[in-house]
Chains A and B, each alone.
Chain A
Amino acid sequence: MSPFRPAIAAVQAQVRMSTRSFEDLMPVLTMPLFALVFLAIFVHSGRSDLAGYAMVAPLLMTVAQMGFFVASEVVTNDRDEQLLELLVAAPTPLFATLWPRILLLNALGLVGFVEIWAITVGVFGISVEFHHPWVAAATLVLTVFSSAGTALLMAALFCFGRSARTFQNSVTYPLYLIAGVLVPVQYLPSWLQPLSPLVFLYWAADLLRDSLRADEMVNLAWRLTALAGLGAFAGGIGALILGRMLDRLQRDGALGLR
Chain B
Amino acid sequence: MTAIETVDLRRVYETHSREPNVVALNGLSLSVEDGMVQGLLGPNGAGKATLVKILSTVLLPTSGHASVLGYDVVRQKHEVRPRIGIVFGGDRGLYWRLTGRENLEYWAALYHVPQAETKRRVDSPLERVGLTERADYRVETYSRGMKQRLHLARGLIADARMLFLDEPTTGMNPVAAHEFRDLILELRSQGRTILLTTHDMAEAEALCDAVAFIDRGQVIATETPRSFGALLRGLEAVEFEGARPETLEALQLLPAVSAVSAVSDQTHRVEVHDTAGVEAVLRLLVDHRVTSLRTARPTLEDLYLQLLGGR
Known: A10-B109, A91-B112. 17 other contacts (CB 8 A): A1-B114, A2-B115, A6-B112, A9-B105, A9-B109, A9-B110, A13-B95, A81-B93, A81-B94, A81-B96, A83-B94, A89-B56, A90-B81, A90-B110, A97-B110, A251-B60, A253-B11
| Residue B98, interface by CB 8 Å | yes
* Most chain A CB inside 10 Å of its own CB: which residue of B11, B58, B82, B84: B58
Pick the interface stretch among A14-22, A108-116, A147-155.
A14-22
Residues B13 and A90 in contact, CB atoms below 8 Å apart: no
Tell me how many residue pairs across A and B have CB atoms closer than 8 Å. 94
The 7 closest A-B pairs by CB, nearest first: A9-B109, A82-B92, A91-B82, A17-B97, A90-B110, A91-B81, A82-B93
Residues B98 and A253 in contact, CB atoms below 8 Å apart: no
Residues of chain B within 8 A of A47, CB atoms compared: none
| Residue A5, interface by CB 8 Å | yes
Residues B11 and A13 in contact, CB atoms below 8 Å apart: no
Residues A20 and B58 in contact, CB atoms below 8 Å apart: no
Residues A1 and B98 in contact, CB atoms below 8 Å apart: no
Residues of chain B within 8 A of A86, CB atoms compared: 58, 86, 88, 93
CA distance A1 to B93 in the complex (A): 26
Secondary structure of the A side of the interface? helix
Residues B95 and A89 in contact, CB atoms below 8 Å apart: no
* Most chain A CB inside 10 Å of its own CB: which residue of B13, B50, B98: B98
Residues of chain A within 8 A of B57, CB atoms compared: 88-89
* Most chain B CB inside 10 Å of its own CB: which residue of A80, A81, A90: A90
Residues of chain A within 8 A of B59, CB atoms compared: 250, 253, 255
Q: A10-B106, A253-B13 are in contact. Are A20 and B86 (CB under 8 A)?
A: no
- The smallest C-beta distance from A81 to any residue of chain B, in angstroms, reads 5
Among residues of B, the one whose C-beta sits closest to the C-beta of A92 is B110
- The smallest C-beta distance from A206 to any residue of chain B, in angstroms, reads 38
Chain B residues bordering chain A, tally (CB within 8 A): 38
A: residues with CB less than 8 A from B are 1-2, 5-6, 8-10, 12-13, 16-17, 20-21, 80-83, 85-92, 97, 250-253, 255-256
CA distance A232 to B139 in the complex (A): 36
CA distance A97 to B95 in the complex (A): 14
B: residues with CB less than 8 A from A are 11, 13-14, 24, 50, 53, 56-60, 78, 81-82, 84, 86, 88, 90, 92-98, 102, 105-115, 138
Residues of chain B within 8 A of A97, CB atoms compared: 110
Residues B58 and A13 in contact, CB atoms below 8 Å apart: no
Residues of chain B within 8 A of A9, CB atoms compared: 105-106, 108-110
Residues B93 and A20 in contact, CB atoms below 8 Å apart: no
Residues of chain B within 8 A of A5, CB atoms compared: 109, 112, 115
Say which residue of B13, B88, B102, B138 sits within 8 Å of A85 (CB atoms): B88
Residues B97 and A82 in contact, CB atoms below 8 Å apart: no
Residues A87 and B110 in contact, CB atoms below 8 Å apart: yes
Residues A83 and B86 in contact, CB atoms below 8 Å apart: no
* Most chain A CB inside 10 Å of its own CB: which residue of B90, B94, B109: B109
Residues A83 and B95 in contact, CB atoms below 8 Å apart: yes
Residues A16 and B98 in contact, CB atoms below 8 Å apart: yes
Among residues of A, the one whose C-beta sits closest to the C-beta of B84 is A89
Residues A91 and B78 in contact, CB atoms below 8 Å apart: yes
Say which residue of A20, A87, A88, A252 sits within 8 Å of B13 (CB atoms): A252
Say which residue of A80, A85, A88, A90 sits within 8 Å of B111 (CB atoms): A90
- The smallest C-beta distance from B74 to any residue of chain A, in angstroms, reads 10
25 contacts between A and B (CB under 8 A): A1-B115, A2-B115, A5-B109, A5-B112, A9-B109, A17-B97, A21-B97, A81-B92, A81-B93, A82-B88, A85-B58, A87-B110, A89-B57, A89-B58, A89-B84, A89-B86, A91-B78, A91-B81, A91-B111, A92-B112, A250-B58, A250-B59, A253-B11, A253-B24, A253-B53
Residues of chain B within 8 A of A250, CB atoms compared: 58-60
Residues A255 and B93 in contact, CB atoms below 8 Å apart: no
